[in-house]
A and B are shown apart, each in its own frame.
Chain A
Amino acid sequence: MRQHLRIVRALMRRALNEILRVPAGAIPGVLAPTIFMLGLSSVFAAAARLRGYHADFRTFVVPVGFLQGAGFSGAATGVNLARDIEQGWFDRLLLAPAPRSVLLTGIVASASMRALLPATMLLTVALILGVHSPGIVGLLLAAGLVMTLAAAAACWGVTIALRFRTQQAAPLMQIGSFVAVLFTTAYAPHRLLSGWLQTVSDANPVTYVLEGVRQGFVGSVTWTHTWHAMLAATGVLAFFALFAVRGMRRTGAE
């Protein structure tokens, strides 16, 4: 067990290495959610005049940025794995006498940590601009949900990377998290959505994760929203982790 933890730590260190040593490569991913938040809240600010928002549009949409950051981090992890596969580095990982699930955990855990970078940037800018702080409990909950969703997005990215074995599959990884995060109550409360989007958001577990992150910003943290969000986040992670583990185990069998 201790050896497995060491391997996970070593792989996380390597992944974070890349951000520290090539910061220019990481900056777009770190800044993008903040840019989106600023842009959307500037463009659609007037929408919050409609009944149902219970907050200004910027406050309403900040949680979307957190989840977008989680999605970007997950997709970036998938792209990095695809690059490692193309360059042969992944073979080296596969040669380690460690269970495939441990290797996967190391790869995916780095996405969780990485997701905290855009989230921190976004939160800082949001608070400076006057967005209501969700408090310590709300922030801790948000951090946990963001990290869990980032891990789920990374599992999706890993599955795609193992299937296609090329960085050219990057758009497929990005679209997955894009759809998951935006086809929710991202831009408006449920009652203001059009019919089809209401149906889709009801069926989309990420809606519950979003509402779990949002609750502290627009009001107070409640147990109902919280456990719904946690269940949804862990469910999404478990679902995509299954595919990712299967992909890791089947590598070399095809």
Chain B
Amino acid sequence: MAAIETTQLRRSFKGGVHAVRGIDIAVGRGEVYGFLGPNGAGKSTTVRMLVTLLRPTGGSARVAGHDVATEPDAVRRKIGVALQDAALDGLMTGRELMELQATLHGIAPADVAPRARRLLDRVGLAEAQERRVATYSGGMRRRLDLAMALVHEPEVLFLDEPTTGLDPVSRRTLWEEIRRMKAEGTTVFLTTQYLEEADQLADRVGIINQGVIVAEGTPAHLKAQVGRPHLDLTFAGDEPDLERARDVLAGFGDHRPATEGCHLSIALQDGAGEIAPVVRALDDAGLLVASLELVQPTLDDVFVEKTGRHLEGAAQPPEAAEPEAPPAVVT
């Protein structure tokens, strides 16, 4: 039995907005499923339906063996959720929040405190547990959010952009935790706008755009489907003749939307061996290449292939970002 299964799942809103237009997803038990898509593609709406916060307007979905529409309580008992905004009560301490969450999820009273302590220790918040959450940094809040999602040992864990806005160290820590959960057999449904994250963590990836799944498979399989590396070219001069350059390059491969920072981009028909002939052809045509870069297929290439545009956030997450300072205490 799949951990998550949707059949033509749909959600429309008032005013004729069709956010999700009939998607079929099947996520196996113990799998990490990466769910990608640009802003407004229907990612969050899909997640909210799967976690029973939003009712589908068409189709069906089963999570952990229960129907989200007819058995929402049963679904909630078996899932853990860490949504995009780590919604925490700043006036409470980490321990108090964990214990509240445990109580809400029916953990036996005698087990509430020990379980809370254990999980806070696991995510590295043991020392901060008696501090009010308003004093936590962004990374600490995400870790607490994750710990709260795990308090009742869910079968399926939904993580909605868990590392957005985190510094690289906090991101790596969270990645380790996700790998650990996978090793423990938890199914993880991960939405992210960082391709590297999906590439690193996901067993399979689904790409959603404008409410429909446009591609699904393992990262390796998807990239292999795209197959070809592409060449990003930047020309010298203030106003290079790009029309002429396109004509010259037409014989070497298909044009594709140019990556940010370069003038033209082509998917090479015959791979890296084409680089020298390309440069010679451009040189013969009097077009001076300022720089060129050979780029192996990425998930963004898959996205471009399927939708004709780049996935926002296709750029790497900021590596040089300063760790977030703890927010000011809120009273």
Chain A residues at the B interface, C-beta cutoff of 8 Å: 3, 6-7, 10, 13-14, 17-18, 21-22, 24, 87-99, 252-254
Contact = CB atoms under 8 A, between A and B. Distances in A.
Contacts of B53: 91, 94-95, 252
Contacts of A10: 100, 103-104
Contacts of A91: 53, 83, 87
Contacts of B88: 89
Contacts of A94: 52-53
B91 A21 contact: yes
Contacts of B83: 88, 91-92
Interface in B34-60: 48, 51-55
Contacts of A21: 91, 132, 331
Interface stretch (B73-81, B214-222, B252-260, B262-270): B73-81
Contacts of A17: 91-92, 96
Interface string B213-233: 000000000000000000000
B121 interface: no
Contacts of B103: 6-7, 10
Contact of B92 (A14, A253, A254): A14
B91 A22 contact: yes
B89 A89 contact: yes
Given A91-B53, A96-B76, A14 B106 contact: no
Contacts of B92: 14, 17
B283 to A, nearest CB: 57
Interface residues of B, number: 31
8 contacts: A13-B100, A22-B91, A22-B331, A89-B87, A89-B88, A92-B87, A95-B51, A97-B74
A22 to B, nearest CB: 6
Contacts of B101: 92
A96 to B, nearest CB: 4
A49 B219 CA distance: 86
B52 A95 contact: yes
B104 A87 contact: no
Main secondary structure of the interface of A (DSSP, over half): helix
A93 B55 contact: no
Contacts of A253: 55
Nearest to A254: B14
Contacts, number: 67
A178 to B, nearest CB: 28
B133 to A, nearest CB: 11
B105 interface: yes
B331 A252 contact: no
A96 B105 contact: yes
B106 A3 contact: yes
A111 to B, nearest CB: 18
B24 interface: no
A98 B101 CA distance: 12
A197 to B, nearest CB: 41
A24 B132 CA distance: 18
B97 to A, nearest CB: 9
Contact of B100 (A3, A14, A18, A252): A14
Nearest to A21: B91
A252 B104 contact: no
Nearest to B54: A252
Nearest to B330: A22
Contacts of A95: 51-53, 76, 79, 81
B331 A93 contact: no
B277 interface: no
A13 B52 CA distance: 26
A147 B77 CA distance: 33
B237 interface: no
A114 to B, nearest CB: 15
A87 B81 CA distance: 16
B55 A97 contact: no
B105 A97 contact: yes
A19 to B, nearest CB: 10
Given A17-B92, A24-B331, A87 B106 contact: no
Contacts of B77: 97
